Structures are given as C-alpha cells and as structure tokens.
Structure 1
Amino acid sequence: MVFILGVNFPERNLVKKSLETFFGVGPSVSARLMARFHIHPTCKVGELANKQVLDLTAALSEMKIENDLRREILDNIKRLKDTGTYRGKRHAMGLPVRGQRTRTQIKTAIKLNRIDRKL
C-alpha cells in the first residue's frame, strides 16, 4: 500500500488511474503531473520511488482539489443564485444551465441538478 495525500492505493494500480481518483484531477492533469516527475504512463503505484511519491504528494497538496474545489464550486453557484442571474435561477430550479434542450430531454438534467437544489 502506498499513501498519496493520506489515501491508500494498492501497489498494483496504475499511477494515472490513482491520480484521477482525486476530485479535480482528470486525464490531462494526471498526464501533466506524470510527465513533470518522469513517470511512465503504464507505471504502477508500487514501482514508484519514495522521492516520486513525496513529489506527487507535494504537487497535489499545492493544487486546489477535493473539498476545496467542491466548496469553491458550491460558492460560485450560491453567488449566482444570490445575485439573481439567469444561470442562478436555472440552478435553483434544477433546470439545464448551459443552453441544453428542455422541450423533450429534461429528465436527465433534473436528476443531475438535484444535488444543487438542496442548498
């Protein structure tokens, strides 16, 4: 088991997939981190040297990920609702915000926006 930012990862997992488990780290960010620390794309977590693990942990701790990013997103949505913008009203009603079709295909958007309406 290898600890990265306090999370246990089995040694057989790929480094790229392990990095992508963090909220806010997608395929492009994980590829950029791996290139920065000279980690091969097919490398497994167990094959990393201690220095590489420490470097990855330090780089991830400097980034805005997990709860900080979630809090920022919720604050942005709350700000839109408070100012009464069109997007804020759409968020509050649980409707699509980015111009998606609502005449026939609204059910998926309502399911996805259910989280935002709890605020």
Structure 2
Amino acid sequence: MVFLLGNNFHELKLVKKALESFYALGPQTSERILAKYSIHPRAKIGTLPPRTITALTAELSSMKIENEAKKVIQDNIKRLRDMGTYRGRRHAMGLPARGQRTRNQTETAKKLNKVERRG
C-alpha cells in the first residue's frame, strides 16, 4: 500500500487513476501533473520512488482539492443565490441550472442540484 495525501492506494493502481480519485482532479490536471514529474501515463504507484511520491504529495497539498474545492463550489452557488440570478434561483429550487428541458424528466437534476436552504 502506498500512502498519498491521506489515502492508501494499492501498489498496482495506475498513478493517473490514483490522482483522478481526488475530488476536483480530472484527466487533464492529472496528465499535467504526470508530465511535470515525468511519470509515464501507464506507471503504477508501486513503481514510483519515494522522492517522487513525496513530490506528488507536496504538489497535491498546494492545490485546492477535496473539501476545499467543495467549499469553493458551495460559495459560488451561494453567491449566485444571494445575487438573485437565474442560475441561483434554479439551484435553490433544485431544478436544472444549465438549460436542460424540464417538460419530461427532471428527477436527476432535482437530485444533483440540492443545496441546503438556510436563510
């Protein structure tokens, strides 16, 4: 098991997939990190030297991921709601906020656009 920023990963897991498992790190960001440290895209976590793992941990700790990224998104939605924009009102009502049709199926949007209603 390899320990990377508070998470344990199996040694046979791809480094790219391990990086993408963090919230707010997608394919492009993980590829950019791999290129920065010259890690092969198909490399496994168990084959990395300890210095590289330490460098990856330092890189990830300087980024806004996991709870910090979720907080930023919630703050952005709260700002939209406070300003009274169309998107903010749609988020508050739990309806689609990005132009999807609401005539037939809105259940998925109602599940995904839930925001706690305070104040």
Q: Scaled by the length of structure 2, what TM-score is found? A: 0.93
- Alpha-carbon distance in structure 2 between the residues aligned to 1:6 and 1:113: 29
Q: Is 1:41 the equivalent of 2:41?
A: yes
Count of residues in correspondence between the two structures: 118
Match of 1:76?
Answer: 76
Tell me which amino acid in the other structure corresponds to 1:111.
K
Deviates more, 1:98-107 or 1:51-60: 98-107
Deviation at 1:80, TM superposition (A): 1.1
Match of 1:107?
Answer: 107
Alignment gaps of 5+ in structure 1 = none
Match of 1:60?
Answer: 60
Structure 1 residues 33 and 61: alpha-carbon distance in aligned structure 2, compared to 1, 3 A threshold: same
Question: Does structure 2 retain, via aligned residues, the 8 Å contact 1:4–1:57?
Answer: yes
Deviation at 1:105, TM superposition (A): 2.5
Poorly superposed stretches of 4+, deviation over 2 Å: none
Deviation at 1:53, TM superposition (A): 0.4
% identity of equivalent residues: 58
Q: Is 1:32 the equivalent of 2:32?
A: yes
Q: Scaled by the length of structure 1, what TM-score is found? A: 0.93
Give SS of 1:65's match. Answer: coil
Alignment gaps of 5+ in structure 2 = none
Question: Does structure 2 retain, via aligned residues, the 8 Å contact 1:95–1:113?
Answer: yes
Give SS of 2:3's match. Answer: strand
Deviation at 1:16, TM superposition (A): 0.7
Give SS of 1:12's match. Answer: coil
Q: Is 1:94 the equivalent of 2:80?
A: no
Tell me which amino acid in the other structure corresponds to 1:73.
I
Deviation at 1:81, TM superposition (A): 1.1
